[in-house]
Amino acid sequence: MIEDHLPALIIGIPLLAGFATPLISKLHDKLRNIFVIGVLGVTLLLVGLLALTVFDSGIFVYVMGGESTGLTLPSGFKMPVRIVLEVDGMSVFMAIISSVVAFLGAVYSWAFMDGHTGKDKYYTLLLILTAGMLGMEFTGDMFNFFVFLEITSIAACGLIGFRINRGESAEAAFKTMVLYTLGALLFLFAVGVLYGEYDALNIAILASRIQYTGLDKIALGLFVGALALKAGAVPMHMWVPDAYAEAPAPITLILVANTQVALYGLFRVVFTLYGLTISTQTVGWIIVILGVLSMFVGVTMALIQNKIKRLIAYGAVSQIGYMLLGVGVGLATLGTPALQEYGIKAMEGSIFHILNDAMYKGLLFLTAGSIIYSTGKRDLNELSGLAHDMKFTCLFFIIGAGAIAGVPPFNGFASKLIIYESVYKFNPLLSVIAILASIVTLAIFVKIFQSAFLGPKLLEVRKEPRSMVFAMLILSIIVVAFGLFPNIVVDNIVSPAVNALINHMDYVAAVLGG
Amino acid sequence: MMDLIDFGTLETGYGVWNALYWLLSLGVLFLIVYFIYWRGEKTVKTSKDQGRPFLAGSVTSKEKTHVKASNVYWGFTEALKGYYVPSQKGHTGNVNDYISWFILVLAVMMILIGGL
């Protein structure tokens, strides 16, 4: 019975729990924390169950409010009239990432937010942000995608500016809100263009009707621009260091997944909605160039930062570049023999990198949060010798830094290696830039390690609480395990996601039949 | 037997990658290094001064030896001043500029997508 309603439950449970949280907060703080962690744990389990179903039986279509949840076309109708959730390999892949980071973010928040006021609002926004991300991943409808995009934007901005005792947080939240709103408005405009042309909002219907007219080209430009902005691609990345640096550390962990959901939206639009109707070479190269710029500018700007979270945030911008690069190559080769030769591998590398990135970058932000919690300092110039007292954090930082820099045997190496080798066949120069960016990435994390952890002990530090260590430990285990056995992850989770993007007609057929 | 060899092996496009074999190689390398160390000179005398910080010709306190983050990679960033000065100027922190960049990218993309 539950299996039949999984997509609706996965979105609905955190959403409703978000509104229940202030009420439970009235009873007891500890009860509220247990409730939030429990809800996100259940959501994670349900996502796992849905993943097994999708990987086993293919695309899961769920019709809201109909006489049957599987009936997309009631008799006499040529197109779905109800809200349709459509979950394929790519959607569920992203949902795994979102639900894991949301759960660990809540666990980490328990101790990290201890002593802060307004936690009922904090947890409400956290749950709503999670529901919004999962909604973006599961929806089969462009307008609902916009609605969930807005839900994530509002919740994310609320959380970025959650603590306004530091003026920078409010400023970062304002800047992010302005850009998110601008992007969302243009996204809505593009949805309106497609609705005006094709009388439909359902992605499958639109994909089956799209002609790639002049208006469709304008809509495509708006979609790509708005989603690349939310993903933090250079040169639209400038809100990222502001937001990531100022949000509480567990929220930064979830924001990383939130930007990745924007990437998911971008991939869904170009592969599923437009597919082969577009000039794949042109759009593919646009994505590749955004990726190369992100890799290079992100990492070089990181090198000169002295605020720990700001430095990692620029590193995060750089990692977005790897994801864009591989998928851009995949798109540029779509419909050509090169897709089978190296395009699919490039996409596998990038999609695998999305998963890896969420884990190691999340881990790095949590270690930065741990340093801020223990020392009260954000500036690397004021830190020294933390390895003496923060042994766990130091170890977790080494694992995260090794992974983001692509050092074997961590997970980042495996996905970057696939990207280097496959992209080399497309254009060797792109691979060289990617490798160079990786080397500089290692240099920036050596800078943090040298400044914060090495050297004489100069500061009094608070011990890291257990819940914070637990969240970092889980992410570290994932980073190491995915690095040791990358083939298991690629074969079972990544390949179905890539196939879902490439075989976009399956997505259409799941709704329209045939 | 082949399953055991393939365990943990990832197809990477041109070739394959197996982290378990990499760790095994690292272990062998460690044993070789340890063997050389073990066979080394055992009569070397150590004193406390060998471990004391030494900076610019004088032994100094540990606190003064820590290189601050803003000094790390100074030579690298100084050499690339031509890149870093305009890049830092470009990151103004002004939200109006953020929007300008967004509009510029949109305009370029519209031209590329619409014209080709």
Q: What is the pTM of this model?
A: 0.94
Query: Which residue, A11, A358, A317, A5, is CA-closest to A151?
Result: A11
Nearest-CA distance A231 → chain B (Å): 12
Q: Give ipTM to 2 decimals.
A: 0.92
Q: Which of A282, A296, A308, A444 to mutate to test the interface with B (most CBs of B within 10 A)?
A: A282
Q: Is A414 on the interface with B (CB under 8 A)?
A: yes
CA dist B97 → A176, A368, B77 (Å): 13, 29, 24
Q: Are A111 and A467 in contact (CB under 8 A)?
A: yes
A16-A22-A27-A29 Cα dihedral, nearest 10 degrees: 100
Q: Identify the H or E element spanning A499.
A: helix A495-502
Q: What is the Cα–Cα distance from A137 to A203, expressed in whole angstroms?
A: 13
How far off is chain A from B15, nearest CA to CA, in Å?
Answer: 8
Mean pLDDT in chain A?
94
**Which residues of A fall within a CB distance of 8 Å from B93?**
238, 242
Structurally, chain A folds into a number of domains equal to 1
Overall average pLDDT of the A422-443 stretch:
96
Q: Which two tokens stand for residue A199?
A: 């009388």
Is the pLDDT at B5 greater than 70? The verdict is: no
Q: What phi and psi values does residue A428 have, to the nearest 5 degrees?
A: -55, -35
Q: What is the pLDDT of residue A444?
A: 95
Examine the pLDDT at B116 and tell me if it is beyond 60: no
Measured in angstroms, the CA of A236 and the nearest CA of chain B are apart by 6
The domain in which residue A300 lies consists of: 2-512
CA-CA distance, A509 to A250, in Å (whole number)?
A: 39
* pLDDT per residue as tens digits for the range A148-163: 999 999 999 999 999 8
Question: Going by C-beta distance under 8 Å and a sequence separation of 6 or more, which residues neighbour residue A259?
Answer: A230, A231, A232, A240, A316, A320
- pLDDT tens for residues B60-93? 677 777 888 888 999 999 999 999 999 999 999 9
